Amino acid sequence: MTVTGIQLQEANSGGVVAPLGQEFKQAYFSEHPTLNGMQTINITSDVANLFAGNAELIGELETAQANADNSFFAVVYLVAPLALTDLLVGGYIADLAATYEVATLLFVTNADAAFAAAVNTELAAQAAQKRYFEAVLKFRKAGADTPSAYATAFNTAFSAFSSSSVSIIAPTTQDNWLGAFGGRLARIRVQASAGKVLDGGLKNVLTDPAYGQSEFTVLDDARAVFLKRFVEDPSSVFVNDDLVMYSTSDTVTTMAQRRVLNKAKREILFYAFPLINDDKFNKDESGAMAASQIASKGLEVMKKPVPGKNREIHDYSLSTSWVTGGVAIAFTLIDVNRIKIVDTTIELTI
């Protein structure tokens, strides 16, 4: 029996074609004074011309291009001024998900706790439909705040918010590095940290020398992503870490772990769903074992290193069982640091 899987939906515009790996595809949500709808871009797109009228968006996209590689692909989702709000953002995400298959959602707007909660709620709703995303938001710039006041303001704004699917950037006084973070994510494999020093510093970004270790400690404890330099390489700029806004009970605490988990779920569905949905297995132990072998094919690829690239997971376990009206696929993932990041189940209806 030949396993073909589910072909990725590829919606194109402007002659831009998405790369095969969904984990590298992104979407940028932004307001625009005259444009609306969705437009795809790649590494060579003239974003200054395409999105003239929104300097902030142009800056973020140009910085994303500078930090990505030639496979960069993104959907830019434009809405009217003052329309990128917590009340409406869920609908935009759902609209995008119905048209494009992307992985990372980035929002070119100043997020507060209500906006972050709305994004997280829609990510959960999409996950229930077996569509898996991670999101990157940004807090406001510091403005007239002192460094200590700004760090405290970030902590206060998001102290009650938690999500293992959302990272929030603290841009201090600088624009455009939401795009730098996005460009880095589009270039590195899912298991890699965006803050890995060996991958080199971010391009076209600067740090604010007024921010020191005391502010970094507050921001790090608040689970923020922020820019810093290291004494070993003072000429380069890195992110502190790729933290998500995790809670004390979350096993997924970094963007790398979230990307690994989301890719693993997509791989399981890619291989298992076509056969299981077509009711090709006997509803007995041997049928469950056969289903497990099919469902684990993608995880096996993630586990095996290929020339020039490291493995994406250290290990996994997977089993299937028949439930009323479908099949339950239980799996455990161990990340490359040998940390168990998930022990969960996906159910498919037959």
Per-residue model confidence as pLDDT tens digits over 271-320: 888 877 777 788 889 989 998 999 999 999 999 977 767 899 999 999 99
d(CA 332, CA 165): 18
Q: Which residues of 193-230 are buried (b: 16+ CB within 10 A; e: fewer)?
A: bbbeeeeebbbbbebbeebeeebbebbbebbbbbbbee
Here the tokens at position 292 are 């497990």
Q: What's the rounded mean pLDDT across residues 82-105?
A: 98
Q: Is the pLDDT of residue 257 over 70?
A: yes
Buried b (16+ CB within 10 A) or exposed e, 265-281: bbbbbbbbbbbbeeeeb
Kindly tell me if the per-residue pLDDT of 69 is higher than 80: yes
Compute the radius of gyration of the chain from its Cα atoms.
Answer: 21
Q: What is the pLDDT of residue 13?
A: 44
pLDDT at 72: 96
Instruction: Band the pLDDT of 113: cuts 50, 70, 90.
Output: very high
pLDDT level of residue 5 (50, 70, 90 thresholds): very low
Instruction: List CB contacts of 172: < 8 A, sequence separation 6 or more.
Output: 141, 142, 147, 150, 208, 211, 226, 227
Tell whether the model's pLDDT for residue 251 goes beyond 50.
yes
DSSP state of 198: G
- Amino acid making up residue 51: F
How confident is the model over 187-245, as pLDDT tens digits? Answer: 999 999 998 877 789 999 999 999 999 999 999 999 999 999 887 788 899 999 899 99
Report the percentage of the chain scoring pLDDT > 90.
Answer: 77
Q: Sort 286 into a burial class: Cβ within 10 Å, 0-12 / 13-18 / 19+.
A: exposed
Map out the domains of the chain as residue ranges: 22-239, 255-349
How big is the CA angle at 10 (ends 9 and 12), to the nearest 5 degrees? 150
DSSP-based helix, strand, coil % in the chain, nearest 5:
35, 25, 40
pLDDT band for 155, please (50, 70, 90 cuts): very high
Whats the size of the chain, residue-wise?
350
